[in-house]
Amino acid sequence: MLTDTTIRNTKPGQKVIKLTDGGGLYLEVTPAGGRYWRYRFRINGKESIHSIGEYPRVGLAEARRKRDDARDIVKQGTSPVLAKQQQKFAQQYENAQTFKAVAEEWFLAAPAKSKNGCWSDSYKASVRTLLDRDILPHLGAIPVRQINTPMVHQVIKRVEARQAATRAILARQIIGGVFKLAILTHRADFNVAEPLKGEIARRVVEHHKHLERADVGDFLRKLSDYTGHRTTSIALELLLQTAVRPGELCGAAWAEFDLDAAEWRIPAARMKMRKVHIVPLSLQSVALLRELKEITGHGEHLFPVQGTKAGTMPVATLRNAIVKLGYSDKFSPHGSRGTFSTTMNEAGYPPDHIEVQLAHSDKNSTRRAYNHARYLPERRKLLQDWADMLDGFMAGAKIIPIGRAA
């Protein structure tokens, strides 16, 4: 019978040393100094070796207990080696049935199956945050077949309790997507998130406040006297002149611009509709961009901000500037698009030209594929006329709606 003292005093030799304990158990000491417990057994006259563990992680007493467990398995006519493999496979199978396992599979596969064939970085980050913060801590370790509708209901209600109804709805959609994959892979029979559709009421969305025509001139005059950062006032001017979405402007990179050609090409990855969008630049916009380039042109982005997640100016900066200008009750950053659309439609410009410039979704798939370049000469005139109108509003001129695209 072995003792711990014998084991500790046995030094490695040039060959493998076997220290026998009894009942088929022995300790194998390798020339490299490793000490491994082995159990020798026979089934149907054939000798086999079962690995028990490494000493001292597996002590003498534990090794004997595991030897006895293995001997009981042998008495039943089963190899403990095979039993160990089966246990390992069973554990792997059980792990693959948990909500977390299915959720991670879904997270990797879902973007390619979405409507646009990919997710935006911001949407992907939102989904990942909801999974890690609100869903997996409560459901992750549970086999999907054991999850029921009340459990999912508790999860989404916790999210809603943070005054985050939209995120609660997204949480339900995520869980529903995970269960769809579980059903397809025979790990669940029913989508337990399905009965919860409509359970969370969406927040009533307030339409983006846009400047009324009568207020545009006063706003621009106040903007010209803005005492904050010049980059912020330039951003607000460009937002009005180009009619792009605030996020598209705040995240813009200098590589997207050709100032000599007076053109801004926004890549599909940054567009809401996941399509390249060309923005023809007015003379006024080019002048602003050249001024801005003197300030931030040494870097990658037009509006870099240290310490933010994206490294660029947050839209909140524009909102704060509007508050300082005294227009928070009349105007929001996104509302610049409404100001442009309303004014140019009233001025008689073709609605198709305006809609393409706003990069709105086109239900015609053939037209949609070429939207980035559609009506480019007409849109160039449209935005130049718009910039000229803005100058007129600022100067206090009475603009007569006579505009027609040539």
**Active-site position among 50, 100, 245, 353:** 245
Our answer to whether residue 153 is catalytic in this structure is: no
Give, as one character, the DSSP assignment of residue 18. E
Our answer to whether residue 67 is catalytic in this structure is: no
**Active-site position among 50, 270, 337, 381:** 337
End-to-end CA distance of the chain: 103
Give, as one character, the DSSP assignment of residue 115. T
**Active-site position among 113, 203, 367, 370:** 370
Location of structure tokens 């916790």:
158
Is 179 exposed, middle or buried (CB count within 10 Å of its CB: 0-12, 13-18, 19+)? buried
**Active-site position among 272, 274, 319, 368:** 272
**Active-site position among 209, 334, 353, 374:** 334
Our answer to whether residue 360 is catalytic in this structure is: yes
Cα 71 off chain centre by: 52
Asked whether 283 and 384 are in contact (CB, 8 A), the reply is yes
Cα 388 off chain centre by: 40
Our answer to whether residue 381 is catalytic in this structure is: no
Our answer to whether residue 15 is catalytic in this structure is: no
C-alpha 388/C-alpha 248 separation (Å) is 23
C-alpha 91/C-alpha 102 separation (Å) is 15
Asked whether 53 and 63 are in contact (CB, 8 A), the reply is yes
Our answer to whether residue 245 is catalytic in this structure is: yes
Which sequence positions are flagged as catalytic?
245, 272, 334, 337, 360, 370
